[in-house]
Chains A and B, each alone.
Chain A
């Protein structure tokens, strides 16, 4: 694993060059000012449009609805006491965890199947399988919305043709929850597939040959060679996917807009409804801020594991 395939923690700049001796002193002195100037636009974007709004959201969430009075944590306690918001937390977790597990499994299977194909055919299949990821989700969800239409559903036409009663895809709470997850899985599984495929290709062939000489079966090779070698990429892909799935907006907004009876609302769509549509910006920012600690804890957890593993592999 010394060949650059080692996944380091994304935050750690593996790229920062060690200072070189022998370069001219003058260049060295000018260098750091110049480097600062070159990163200044990045600093402005991150500082002005991510960090500042984030802290502004914290401040905003502690104001009353008219933004005239400081009310401390009242918005948060109010939200936590409301049954609708408890439902939003539960649904967000269900949506994100359910979708990520399904995406990870489908992606894993597809990557393996693709990897086993002869190289010639692989490209063509991979090309078709990545299409859901390429279409903007706000656009492809329109197609799903039409497929789920209560009276014209082409999906229901298919299932009634095979003798199953039609389904109220978006009308019945538990089916609506299933439907938004289904669309998210449809959109996100190709991403997992492509990440795993890249990881599979980076596992050295010698390891499989050694395992074969030791008499390992296909299953044993998978458990003892492939999975350990891919652990870091699996962890990072799951982390990314969990972040974007948790923070999803497009799919739920278009398909159900939170309904029926607010049962499919997730943090993003609920924050939009409360903050923009009902005009309670402080409460809306309190809703969306609930996402941050959940994501941060998970990220720390995953990245610590990744750093430990890559250190073990390097050492």
Chain B
């Protein structure tokens, strides 16, 4: 962009006014084109959640009515939301999701902060192999692990138990969080630890008093990542949780609101929207940390 303005300036200096003008015009058209492209994709990206919202505000009668525009709501009602929050297991599913997510985030952050500190600052036997091992876990996705884990969880007597989720989810969060944290810890200047060591701090004090405060943005990014992954997990609860009162949101909505051929679409959409709200709120308020967590993996070593 700055290159174009330099070129424009040179041309103007040479007195070629119409050429400079055409570059300006070109840039304006490029910008208009950019806004059109953006508008098209914003529509493409936003219409499913929008339709979700519209449907959640409709009564069953209005949903079943095939006359008229499905994209507008004629007589908005909060009946679906009220019904979900007062009858059935939706509140229970929400509570289960909260419990599992909080536990998993706490476990993840303790494990990955400790491991990242050791891997970023202390060279020890096998540390390089371990860092490679952390990466290799990406090649073993959850769709490969759920079958052996089904046997293992069953053997431990944790089938249909929320504890199984708390035990298994860290396999999805810990590797990436450790990786993010290694990047942040490695960017802390070594002079800081030397100063701390000279002052007589031990390694835990160093981690607690220096690394964690300095790398706080990284810790926040990793926490948000762990939160979104645990909140969104679908396969493990699908495979290991069977009774409705033990389910989390992602599977609970489908299992409770679809009875044979009856789809309660209004309630499904209301439930889905409320289930999507926590990650959306975190994203809205902490967007920069959210994005830092996403991109840290690639732009940091």
Contacts between the two chains (Cβ within 8 Å), count: 342
Contacts of B299 in A (CB 8 A): 5, 7, 198-199, 202, 233
Q: How far is the CA of A15 from the CA of B131 in the complex (A)?
A: 10
Contacts of A116-139 to chain B: CB distance below 8 A: 116-117, 125, 127-132, 134-139
CB-CB nearest in chain A for B281: A134
> Does the CB pair A54–B145 fall under 8 Å?
yes
Q: Is B16's beta carbon under 8 Å from chain A?
A: no
> Does the CB pair B144–A247 fall under 8 Å?
yes
> Does the CB pair A243–B148 fall under 8 Å?
no
The residue among B127, B140, B142, B279 with the most chain A CB atoms within 10 A of its own CB is B140
Contacts of B254-287 to chain A: CB distance below 8 A: 254, 265, 268-269, 272, 275-276, 279-280, 283-284, 287
> Does the CB pair B147–A57 fall under 8 Å?
yes
> Does the CB pair B38–A140 fall under 8 Å?
no
Contacts of B268 in A (CB 8 A): 142, 146
Q: How far is the CA of A51 from the CA of B171 in the complex (A)?
A: 10
> Does the CB pair A146–B55 fall under 8 Å?
yes
Q: Is B130's beta carbon under 8 Å from chain A?
A: yes
Contacts of B93-140 to chain A: CB distance below 8 A: 110-112, 114-115, 117-125, 127-128, 130-140
Q: Is B15's beta carbon under 8 Å from chain A?
A: no
A124 to chain B, nearest CB (A): 10
Which of the residues B118, B140, B143, B279 comes within 8 Å of A134, measured between beta carbons? Answer: B279
* Chain B window 44-79, contacts with chain A (Cβ cutoff 8 Å), 1 for yes, 0 for no: 111011011001000000010010011100000000
Q: Is B14's beta carbon under 8 Å from chain A?
A: no
> Does the CB pair A138–B250 fall under 8 Å?
yes
Assess A15 versus B150: contact at CB under 8 Å? Given A41-B111, A137-B234. no
CB-CB nearest in chain B for A127: B287
Assess A49 versus B276: contact at CB under 8 Å? Given A15-B182, A17-B122, A243-B141. no
Which of the residues B127, B137, B178 comes within 8 Å of A50, measured between beta carbons? Answer: B137
Which of the residues A57, A117, A137, A253 comes within 8 Å of B232, measured between beta carbons? Answer: A137
CB-CB nearest in chain A for B47: A147
Assess A6 versus B301: contact at CB under 8 Å? Given A50-B137, A186-B44. yes
Contacts of A14 in B (CB 8 A): 186, 301
A10 to chain B, nearest CB (A): 5
Q: How far is the CA of A56 from the CA of B144 in the complex (A)?
A: 11
B93 to chain A, nearest CB (A): 12
Assess A31 versus B122: contact at CB under 8 Å? Given A15-B301, A208-B2, A292-B139. yes
Interface size of B in residues (CB-CB distance below 8 Å) = 114
> Does the CB pair B143–A16 fall under 8 Å?
no
Q: Is A12's beta carbon under 8 Å from chain B?
A: yes
Q: Is B34's beta carbon under 8 Å from chain A?
A: yes
Q: Is B217's beta carbon under 8 Å from chain A?
A: no
Assess A296 versus B139: contact at CB under 8 Å? Given A31-B122, A35-B124, A41-B110. yes
Q: Is A244's beta carbon under 8 Å from chain B?
A: yes
> Does the CB pair B250–A146 fall under 8 Å?
no
Contacts of B185 in A (CB 8 A): 15
> Does the CB pair B130–A39 fall under 8 Å?
yes
> Does the CB pair B51–A143 fall under 8 Å?
yes
Q: How far is the CA of A42 from the CA of B174 in the complex (A)?
A: 7
Contacts of A147 in B (CB 8 A): 48, 51
B184 to chain A, nearest CB (A): 10
Q: How far is the CA of A55 from the CA of B126 in the complex (A)?
A: 21
Q: Is A236's beta carbon under 8 Å from chain B?
A: yes
* Chain A window 8-43, contacts with chain B (Cβ cutoff 8 Å), 1 for yes, 0 for no: 101111111111100110010001101110110111
Q: Is A95's beta carbon under 8 Å from chain B?
A: no
Assess A17 versus B190: contact at CB under 8 Å? Given A42-B178, A46-B175, A57-B147. yes
Assess A139 versus B276: contact at CB under 8 Å? Given A49-B171, A113-B37, A190-B45. yes
Contacts of A38 in B (CB 8 A): 114-115, 117-118
> Does the CB pair A7–B301 fall under 8 Å?
yes
> Does the CB pair A285–B148 fall under 8 Å?
yes
A-B contact pairs, 10 of them (CB 8 A): A7-B299, A14-B186, A38-B118, A57-B145, A106-B41, A127-B284, A142-B272, A146-B269, A211-B3, A272-B239
